[in-house]
Amino acid sequence: KYEDLVTRVTNFHNEDKGLMVLAGDVFDVPIRKDIIHRVVRWQLAKRQQ
């Protein structure tokens, strides 16, 4: 199981608005470079169409 992350929340004036909990199973997983590579190639191909 992955740990939930707690991050600070601010507005556009950099005023503190509290804390937010980010789900660990979404934000604390290892980066999948193969998936990022596939998505970047797809986006670049779509741009050329």
Domain encompassing residue 33: 5-48
pLDDT tens-digit profile of 2-48?
999 999 999 999 999 999 999 999 999 999 999 999 999 999 999 99
How far is the C-alpha of 3 from the C-alpha of 22, rounded, in Å? Answer: 9
- Which residue do the tokens 């193969």 mark? 34
Structural contact between residues 43 and 24, judged by C-beta atoms closer than 8 angstroms: no
Rounded to an integer, what distance in angstroms lies between the CA atom of residue 40 and that of residue 35?
9
CA distance 41 to 43: 5
Those residues with Cβ within 8 angstroms of residue 17's Cβ, 6 or more apart along the chain or in another chain: 9, 10, 11
| Per-residue pLDDT at 40 | 98
Number of domains making up the chain: 1
**pTM passes above 0.75:** no
